[in-house]
Structure 1
Amino acid sequence: MKLTYNEFEILVCIEKEKRELSQREISKTTNLSLGTVNKTITSLLEKKLINEDNTITKRGLKELEPYRVKRAIFLAAGFGSRLVPITLNTPKPLVLVNGKKIIETLLDAVVKAEIPEIIIVTGYLNEQFEILLKKYPNIKFIYNEKYNEANNISSAYLVRDKFSNSYVLESDLYLYNQDLIRKYEYHSNFLGFKADRTDDWCLETKNGIITKEKVGGLDCYQMCGISYYDKETGKQMEKDIKEVFMSPGGKERYWEQVMLDVRKNNYKIYLRECKKEDIIEIDTFNELKAIDKTYDV
C-alpha cells in the first residue's frame, strides 16, 4: 500500500508521540489544516492503520517500514580553512561550541531518531574522530585519502553505494532543532529555509521540487546541508556520482551538484523547509565567537 503524503505525515506524528493525540495536536505538529487532518484520520481508520484513540496499529507500523531511514552519512573530511586558527589542531566537526562538539549536535539527533547505521567519512586529522566511539560505539569510519586533492565529491564517491534510504549531513552544522532528523522520510529532499536575499548557496523550486542550485539569489531557499535520499534515488546516485567523479573536472565538483545540477534531469528532489534558527553553519572564526563567547578573548 502506497501512503499519501498526508497519511504518512500523520502516521509519523502518531508513531513518534506514542500516545493518544487530539486532531488539534496533530494539526499543530504536522502543519496540516484541521480539515485535512480530519479527512486523513478517517482514511487511516478505514485502512486500519490507526485505532479509534488515534494511536498507531501494527498494520500502520508495517506500512511505515518502507519509509524507514536506514543510515546517516556524515561528510567530515575537509580542513575547515575559514575557521583557522581553531582548525589547525582540531577537525572542524570536533570543535567545541558551548561545551559540545559540533558534530555531536547532529549525532544526538540521529540517535534520538533511532537511525541504526552511522557512517562518517573522514580525512583531515582522521584519527581524532575515534574519540566519538566512546559515546557512539556503532559509528563506522571511512577514510578519504584524497580529501586534500579533490572536492567533497571524493567523499561521496567512497560511499556511493550507501545513499538509498539515507540522510547525508555536512558535519559542521550546529543543530538546534533535533526534530529535523526523523525516523521516517517520505521522499528525497534537501533542507532549506526561506530567504528574501542571500549570498550563500541556495535553491529555486517549483511546486515544492528543487529546480536549480546556485550561489546567491532573491526569494529563494538557502541550503542547510542536510538531505535525504529514498531507495530509487540512491540507486541512481550510485551510478551518477561515479560517472561525474571520473569525468574531466569531476573531482572539483561539490557532491550535491551531481543531483542538483550536472545530472538534475535524473532526479526529483523536494525542498524540505525549516527555520533559519533551527540550524547554523559556523563558517568563520567571527561566527564562532558570536555563538560561543569563550572564544572571544
Structure 2
Amino acid sequence: MNKKILEKLLSKDQKISQRKLAVDLGISLGKVNRDLFTLKKFEYIDTNYNITKKGKDFLQSNHPQRAIILAAGYGMRMVPINTEEPKGLLEINGESLIERIIKQLHTVGIKEIYIVVGFMKEHYEYLIDKFDVKLIVNSHYENYKNMYSLFLARNYLKNSYIIPCDVWFKENPFVNIESESYYLFSKEQVINSKWKVQPRGGVKKISSKESGDRMVGLAFLNNHDGKSLENLLNKANQIPNLFYNFWEEILEQNRKFILKGKIISSDSFKEINSYEELRDLDYNSSHLQSDSIKVIENVLKTDLNGINNIKVLKKGMTNRSFFFEHNSDKYIMRIPGKGTDELINRHNEFETYEAIKDLKWTENILYLNPNNGYKLSKFIKNAKNCDPNKLQQVAKCMTLLRKFHNSNIKVNHRFDLYKQINFYEELRGTTSAYRDYDEVKERVKKLRSFIEKNIKREVLCHIDANPDNFIFSKNQLYLIDWEYAGMQDPDIDIAMFAIYAMYDQQKIDELIQIYYCNQCDLITKQKIYAYIATCGLLWSNWCEYKQSLGLDFGAYSIAQYRYAKEYSKKVLNYLGE
C-alpha cells in the first residue's frame, strides 16, 4: 500500500487523475491502480477516491510528530577527537552530524525534537536557539548506556523517531507517513548482532554462531508501540542494572523482537564510531586535526593516512590514552585526563624523563610536552602488568625497584608527602566524606617526626609504584608512567606498591622482606607502615577530589582511607603513643 497516494488524496483541492498520481509520485500507472485497489479494500478511500475517516485516522496515527536524538555518550572510540568535541557535532562536508539530522527531520515537517545530552552537554546549547530543540540532560552518561537516555525521554516516544547522533545518512531516512513501527537494520552481516530480518519484516533471533543484520540504531514508534516502550522503560527503572545496556536490549521480550525490521543497504549510511571512520568519510573534516594528531604527524613524519588502528586503552585513573599503528610499529598517545593539570607538575615530569632517558627499562618517549602533558611513546609489545598475587613477579619488581633506587639518580624537585596531602585537601574544597577524617589526619601527622628521623637517604623515587606500572614483556621488565616521581625516601615506593595492590599485613610484611632480601630491621618496617598510613591518606584525598569531578574509584578509595586509619594506629601503638 502506497502511503504517499493517501497523503496526496488528503491534500488534494481538486480531483486527481490516476495518470497525474503516477507522474507526481514517479511510479507506473499499473502500480497506481493496484495501490488504489488496496486502499479501497482497507476502506481508506471510497469509490470516488475520497479519503475516508478511517483513512484520515490511519494517516494521523502513523504521522511522525517528534524525534528523540540520543547524544549523551562519551564516544570512547572517538579518541582523540572526543577530548575536544562530542560525537554529534563532528563535521562531515562542513555540516555537523546532528545538524544534518535536524534538517532532514525539518524537511518532513518534524519540528518537535528532543536531544538527550550528557558528555560536553554545553556544546549542544546553541541548537536551542538555532533550531528550537529541547535538551534533556543525562547526568549518568559515564556509567549508564543509552537505555537510560531513552528512559529520560520516555514521555515523548509516541509517534516518534529514535535516532543515534553518530549516523550519517546519504538520503533522508525520514518520511511524512510511516505505516507501522520499525527498527532499522542494514544488509551488512556482523557477528555482534543476534537478529535477522525476514522477508515480511519479522525479526528472527539467530544462534550465537551466526552473523546477523547490522543494527543501525534508528527506529520509528507509532502511538501504540511508543506507549508500550514507555511502559517497558518504566519497568526497567525498577531494575537499574538494565540501564547498563543499550536501549535495543529492551526490544527483546520473551525472546522475540517486538518491532518489525526494516532493511537498508549498507552504503546508504555511515556510522561514525572512530577517528578512522570519520577520516574515510570526509578526509578534510576539521575535526581530524586535533592537537594530538598534529603531534603524531610531526614526530613520525606522516599524515592522516599513516595513522591506523586507533584504539582506546583502558581508562586510567589520571589520563586517557590511545593506541595506534604507523607502518609496522605501534605507539601510545597520552592525553591528560580531567583535573590532571591541578594534580601534576608537567615540568617536573619532563625533568624526570630527562634524568632517566638512558635507562633501558623505562618506556621509549618520543615526545613529551611539559606545558600540556601530551606524551607519545613506543608501545611495549607482548606486555602484561605485574600480578601482585604472584610472588615470583613481585620479587622481580622489587629487584628492579632496588636497582633503580641504588642508581642514585637525582632531580631538582621533591615529592613532599605532607604538603601534597594539604594540597589535595584544598583541591577537594569541601569537608571530607569520612566522619572521623580530622581524627585520622591528626594521627597521621604525629607520624611525621618518626618518619623524618629515620630517613637514611633520598633518591629519585617513582612514587606511583603501582603493580600496573611494572610491565613484563618477554624477558624484559619495565617501569613506566613517571608523572609523580620526585626525590624521596626509597621506602615510600615499597609502601606505594603495597597500598596499590591492596595488600593485607601479611602480604605487606612479605613485600618488605622481598625488597630488603630478608634483612629489614624493625624500625624500617615500622617506618614503611607509617608511609602506608600517610600515603593512604594522600590517595584518599586524591580520590575525594577526583570524585568531585564525577570520577569514582570504588573499593580503592575506601581501602586507602582504611590504610590511613589502621596503620597510623599500628605505628603509634609501637611508639607507645
Using the size of structure 2 for normalisation, the TM-score is 0.44
One-letter identity of the residue aligned with 1:75: L
In structure 2, distance between residues paired with 1:127 and 1:100: 19
Q: Residue 249 and residue 44 in structure 1: after superposition, are their counterparts in 2 closer, same or farther (change >3 A)?
A: closer
Instruction: Quote the residue 2:282 is aligned against.
Output: 292
Q: Report if aligned partners of 2:44, 2:52 keep a CA contact under 8 Å in 1.
A: no
Q: CA deviation at 1:16?
A: 9.6
Tell me, yes or no, if structure 1 residue 233 matches structure 2 residue 222: no
Match of 1:167 among 161, 164, 170: 161
Match of 2:67 among 57, 67, 72: 72
Q: Report if aligned partners of 1:105, 1:176 keep a CA contact under 8 Å in 2.
A: no
Instruction: Quote the residue 1:39 is aligned against.
Output: 34
Instruction: Quote the residue 2:213 is aligned against.
Output: 221
Q: Report if aligned partners of 2:157, 2:226 keep a CA contact under 8 Å in 1.
A: yes
Q: CA deviation at 1:254?
A: 1.0
Q: Residue 42 and residue 262 in structure 1: after superposition, are their counterparts in 2 closer, same or farther (change >3 A)?
A: closer
What SS class does the counterpart of residue 155 from structure 2 fall into? Answer: coil
In structure 1, distance between residues paired with 2:206 and 2:227: 22
Q: What is the 5 A alignment of 1:1-297?
A: 6-8=1-3, 10-12=5-7, 20-22=20-22, 25-27=25-27, 37-44=32-39, 49=45, 63-137=58-132, 139-178=133-172, 180-195=173-188, 197-201=189-193, 203-206=195-198, 207-212=200-205, 217-218=210-211, 220-247=212-239, 249-259=241-251, 261-262=252-253, 265=256, 268-294=258-284, 295=288, 297=304
What SS class does the counterpart of residue 227 from structure 1 fall into? Answer: strand
Q: CA deviation at 1:282?
A: 0.9
Q: Kindly tell me the number of residue pairs found equivalent between the two proteins.
A: 279
Instruction: Quote the residue 1:31 is aligned against.
Output: none
Q: Report if aligned partners of 1:201, 1:216 keep a CA contact under 8 Å in 2.
A: no
- Structure having the larger proportion of residues in strand: 1
Structure 1, unaligned runs of 5 or more: 1-5, 29-33
Q: Report if aligned partners of 2:4, 2:177 keep a CA contact under 8 Å in 1.
A: no
Q: Residue 236 and residue 25 in structure 1: after superposition, are their counterparts in 2 closer, same or farther (change >3 A)?
A: closer
In structure 1, distance between residues paired with 2:93 and 2:63: 32
In structure 1, distance between residues paired with 2:69 and 2:160: 10
Q: CA deviation at 1:199?
A: 3.7
One-letter identity of the residue aligned with 2:272: I
In structure 1, distance between residues paired with 2:116 and 2:196: 29
Range 198-207 or range 16-25, more displaced: 16-25
Q: Report if aligned partners of 1:198, 1:216 keep a CA contact under 8 Å in 2.
A: no
Q: Residue 43 and residue 241 in structure 1: after superposition, are their counterparts in 2 closer, same or farther (change >3 A)?
A: closer
Highest RCO, 1 vs 2 (Cα 8 Å, sep ≥ 6): 1
Using the size of structure 1 for normalisation, the TM-score is 0.81
Q: Deviations over 1:77-118 (max 9, x none)?
A: 001111111111211001112111011221111110101310
One-letter identity of the residue aligned with 1:22: A
Q: Report if aligned partners of 2:5, 2:21 keep a CA contact under 8 Å in 1.
A: no
Q: Deviations over 1:217-237 (max 9, x none)?
A: 43x422111101111111221
Structure 2, unaligned runs of 5 or more: 289-302, 305-577
Q: Report sequence identity in percent.
A: 25
Give 1 or 2 for the bigger CA radius of gyration.
2
Instruction: Quote the residue 2:525 is aligned against.
Output: none
Q: Deviations over 1:13-68 (max 9, x none)?
A: 7779999331795547xxxxx7554222245479684998x9x8696656412211
Q: Residue 7 and residue 284 in structure 1: after superposition, are their counterparts in 2 closer, same or farther (change >3 A)?
A: closer
Q: Report if aligned partners of 1:77, 1:123 keep a CA contact under 8 Å in 2.
A: yes
In structure 2, distance between residues paired with 1:215 and 1:114: 41
In structure 1, distance between residues paired with 2:160 and 2:135: 16
Q: Deviations over 1:144-196 (max 9, x none)?
A: 01111211111111112221111100011112111x1112211110112213x
User: Aligned-pair RMSD on alpha carbons?
Assistant: 3.2
Q: Report if aligned partners of 1:167, 1:227 keep a CA contact under 8 Å in 2.
A: yes
Q: Residue 96 and residue 57 in structure 1: after superposition, are their counterparts in 2 closer, same or farther (change >3 A)?
A: same
One-letter identity of the residue aligned with 2:164: E
One-letter identity of the residue aligned with 2:118: G
What SS class does the counterpart of residue 150 from structure 1 fall into? Answer: coil
